[in-house]
Structure 1
Amino acid sequence: MKRILLPAGGAVLATGLLAAGLAGTANAVPDWASDTMAKDAPAAVDVAEFWLKANGHTNNLAKATAYTHETIAASKLSAGGGYTPDGKPGIVAPIGEEKKTAAKVKNINLPKTIGKVFFVDAAGDLKWCSATSIQSKYRNLVSTAGHCVYDDKKNASVMDNWVFVPGYYQGKSPWGIYVGKTAYTHYDYSVYNDRDRDYAFVTVYNGIQVGGGTSKEVSKADYDKFTGRKEVKQVEISKEEYKKCVLNLGACWSEGKNTAADVVGPNYPGAVLERVEVTEATYKAAKVGPGNGNKLGEPEVESVTKTEYDAYAGKGTKAVDKLGNYTITHYYVQSWVKPGTEKKYYKAIFIVIDGFIKDAGRLGDNVGGQGFTWNQKPEQTVFVFGYPAAPHPDGNKAYTGVTPKWTYGKTSGKVYVSAAEKVEEHVGLKSSFTPGADGGPWLAKYSNAKRLGYVNGVTSLFGDQDKNGRFDTITSPYFDGETAAIYTKASAVWSGSIVK
């Protein structure tokens, strides 16, 4: 969908919750860009059904792969200088709280807020990034990287069919699927692809889940009239069933044609080896090696009963040993053939599904939401969560992307620069994370007991600083007062339910 920029360079639109914290950012009000994703409830339902649509036993969520386009930076990022905040530090408290457990640095409790965002990129491929639920007035906001929302290949349009799935695991959505309604980012990122502003906040509709509905087979006419969830299944039938279906003008068809197997040579593409039984004399006269008529293995001796022995009239050699055991020895030669084909018959079964969708409620009510903070000093400890999946530059694949992972440490006091990625001031962190972790939250003051902290960055770039073929550094845009103003705008926007 083509994006529409709505720059707003005026005063910050702060909620009462954020007004005090943003008092120090009056001189750092940025231009922000707002872009519609799923414009209304029917459009959002279509997006959700796209991801839940199954082909066999696999839905589209399970078919998606990690989004790596333009997320792998040059092998080494330049580092130097330091940061200058554009105002006073600010903080917004998180929402939700997990059951308290003893905090253990080596056994980190993963937050419920993290998950994957799924979308269709400019090439039409099913992709995902990492993300988190974040505090907002209507408990409906997702934080992720800007490049996981906007696609440069489509003139900076928002990604198609964008959804957030917290707690995603192997095609399952335990807390529902949340369809993106409106994306917010910095004007410099949406227009100039400025990676120093590689972040986005997306409002999402209430989540939906597959309801406890029932499916039933109906006629083609009833199927056409039904406006809810429905599908057509292809079922193979016998030739006799096909004839009856045709007579009744049913939805049936045939595919392929009947062809006999044909003898070819062993090097013919797709040739299949079959064995042909011959007499002992023919076998002994046959050559050794691949080829039609050549020997196929050693003779096979079969023990049989006297009745089977007397009745046998084949090409094998019959014998009775001294103990009265009856045997038949079989001799085989090679026959290389192109397999024949068989016409197959199918019919269509029309199915409607009642009670497909139910409202799962607001994102923040279900999984909570991380806090938000900006203009913080560097060299502070952060915990980073995400779903790393891609291999390292040397091909080593340390992560699968199936389950969320975590890394932590102190951010660098230096700024990281990448001319190729239009980066002049990123925060760096030592980490072996790989692409797939893009968009994952950098949480300051993370409480292992509460599983909550404050989003102070999102994973943007990956670097190999010691040039050994392994990623060892991840970077994030520095969250300053301009970031806070964009977050504030997004955090005060309502979205609502898509289920009537």
Structure 2
Amino acid sequence: MIPRAWHLVAAALSALLMLPALAGTASAAPNSRVYSVTLAKSAADMKKVAEYWKPDRLKNADQYSPATPASQSSPTSKTASGGGQIVPAMSPRIVPARSPQILPTVGPALPKDSAAAKTMGKVFFRFGDKEYWCSASSIAAKNRSVVATAGHCAYDSRQGKPADYWIFVPNPGPGGATPDGIYVGASISMHEDWPGKGDYDFDYAFVTVHRGFKWVEKSGQLAMQDVGRLQDNVGGQGLTLGKGLALTITAFGYPAGPQPDGSHPFDGKTLKVCSGSTRRTVAPSLDLQYGVQLQPCDFSAGASGGPWLLNFQPAQKLGLLTGINSLTWNRDAKGGYDAVSSPTFNATTGEVYRRAAGLATPQNVT
């Protein structure tokens, strides 16, 4: 039996020196709105993205750079990735949100034919002419096709552009293996203050994906084989909102970047876990006023977008999403990161999730 009580907080991947943590209460603005960007609308659009990620390109996936938000580990800041053009190019649109309300808890879901979920994975995409990746997870939804990740793993707010060629690979294997399929992004749902202002209180995205596929060889040529919907294949984490602080959270991700002292304890090939308690934190330079910090955690770049789960059940590998890895922290200014943080997941987050969970995609991708 999957417990009813769950909660998620986000972990991060940008180096920050210690900043003061302030108490506060996050609240959704009455005029909060959902910002939606179409990535690949039709089956034909989806196939264009799929063709980009053939096995020859995926086998080099471990060599791509982990995406990071703007860093501020010193007085000078640097950006981690450039902008890119959406493929195919589509116009974003603002979708008015309904009156903010706390969304009832969404229960986690097991895959159709398994007693354990395989929801964690990586997203691959391009900004400009360079490939990047982040962490992410499948989330239970009525369309059975939603991925949760960091906003900066889907949309570059500095340049006002979404990522190109966005895909989700759950449970990735060595050498670009995709045992549970490849899922092309159909649409990004965000709060408007992420693309509009780069506000880290909203550094999260729910991406609706197409049905999955695998590359198979037929008559000596590669062909796409439909494998069905994401949630049916790997399950989905639950979602809970507005749970407050001082919670015990289990966070996941694929860290790969160096620590502040230059060491490389992670290679990005293995799913890692942190467990700790949550507290309030802020980062004024990033407009983060209501951040939730998880400590201890030594995640580095690559863990961005990985899930924070409340009441995680190891046997089923399921819990309740309460955040995503957004920023990494070096609070004591020593050799390694010691905390990660997430935006607060509240009623506004629920509106963004609702949008992603309500979108439909083509019934066949091959």
2:86 match: none
- Please say if 1:95 is aligned against 2:109: yes
Q: CA 1:402–1:27 in structure 2 vs 1: closer, same or farther (change >3 Å)? A: closer
Residue of 180, 187, 206 corresponding to 1:182: 187
Of structures 1 and 2, the one with the larger relative CO (CA 8 A, separation 6+) is 2
Displacement of 1:178 = 0.2
SS in 2 for 1:173: coil
The DSSP-based 3-state class of the residue aligned with 2:52 is helix
2:313 to 430, 439, 447: 447
**2:164 aligned partner, one-letter code:** D
Does the 8 Å contact 1:29/1:482 carry over to 2? no
2:118 matched residue in structure 1:
112
SS in 2 for 1:211: strand
C-alpha distance 95-205 of structure 1, shift in aligned 2 (>3 A): same
Question: Deviations 1:52-110 (Å, cap 9, x if unpaired)?
Answer: 1526xx6353442211342x44479xxxxxxxxx865741101116537xxxxxxxxxx
For 1:27 and 1:91, the matched residues in 2 are separated by 21
Question: Which of 47, 51, 57 is the equivalent residue of 2:49?
Answer: 47
Q: Which residue identity does 2:287 align to in structure 1?
A: K
Hey, what's the Cα distance between the residues in 1 that align with 2:139 and 2:102? 21
State the 1:495 CA deviation.
1.4
Q: How high is the TM-score relative to the length of structure 2?
A: 0.80
Matching residue within 36, 39, 42 for 1:37: 39
Q: Distance in 2 between matches of 1:74 and 1:372?
A: 32
Residue pair 2:136, 2:307 contacting (<8 A) in 1 also: yes
Displacement of 1:115: 0.1
Deviation string 1:175-197 (CA, Å, 9 cap, x unpaired) is 11000000000011111111100
The CA deviation string for residues 224-254 of structure 1, in whole angstroms up to 9 with x for no partner, is xxxxxxxxxxxxxxxxxxxxxxxxxxxxxxx
Give the letter for the 1:383 counterpart. T
- Distance in structure 1 (CA, Å) of the matches to 2:102 and 2:191: 20
Gaps of 5+ in 1: 1-24, 77-85, 101-110, 216-352
CA offset at residue 403 of structure 1? 1.0
Which residue in 2 is equivalent to 1:474?
340
Match of 1:207 among 208, 212, 218: 212
Q: Are 2:28 and 2:348, in contact at CA under 8 Å, matched by a contact in 1?
A: no
- Please state whether the residue corresponding to 1:377 is helix, strand or coil: coil
Distance, in Å, in 2 between the alignment partners of 1:88 and 1:164 is: 28
- Which amino acid counterpart does residue 249 of structure 2 have in structure 1? V
- Say yes or no: does 1:68 pair with 2:68: yes
Gaps of 5+ in 2: 1-26, 76-99
The one of 394, 400, 413 equivalent to 2:267 is 400
SS of structure 2 residue aligned to 1:117? strand
**Which of 152, 157, 161 does residue 161 from structure 2 map onto?**
157
Aligned residues: 312
Which residue matches 1:166?
Answer: 170
Match of 2:288 among 423, 431, 446: 423
- Cα 1:471–1:75 change in 2 (3 A) is farther
What amino acid is aligned across from residue 115 of structure 2 in structure 1?
K
- Partner-residue secondary structure (3-state), 2:105: strand
* 2:348 is aligned with 1:462: no
1:365 aligns with one of 223, 228, 232: 232
Using the size of structure 1 for normalisation, the TM-score is 0.59
Contact 1:359/1:497, CA 8 A, preserved across alignment: no
Q: Determine the C-alpha separation between the residues in 2 that align with 1:26 and 1:426.
A: 14
SS at match of 1:374: coil
* RMSD of aligned alpha carbons: 2.2
Q: Distance in 1 between matches of 2:364 and 2:288?
A: 38
Q: Residues 108-129 of structure 1: CA distance to partner in whole angstroms, max 9, x if unpaired?
A: xxx510000000013x111100
What are the equivalent positions in structure 2 for 1:143-292 lying under 5 Å apart? 143-153=148-158, 155-170=159-174, 171-215=176-220
SS where residue 218 of structure 2 aligns? coil
> Of 336, 340, 354, which residue of structure 2 is paired with 1:488?
354
Q: CA 1:60/1:399 → structure 2, altered by over 3 Å: closer, same or farther? A: closer
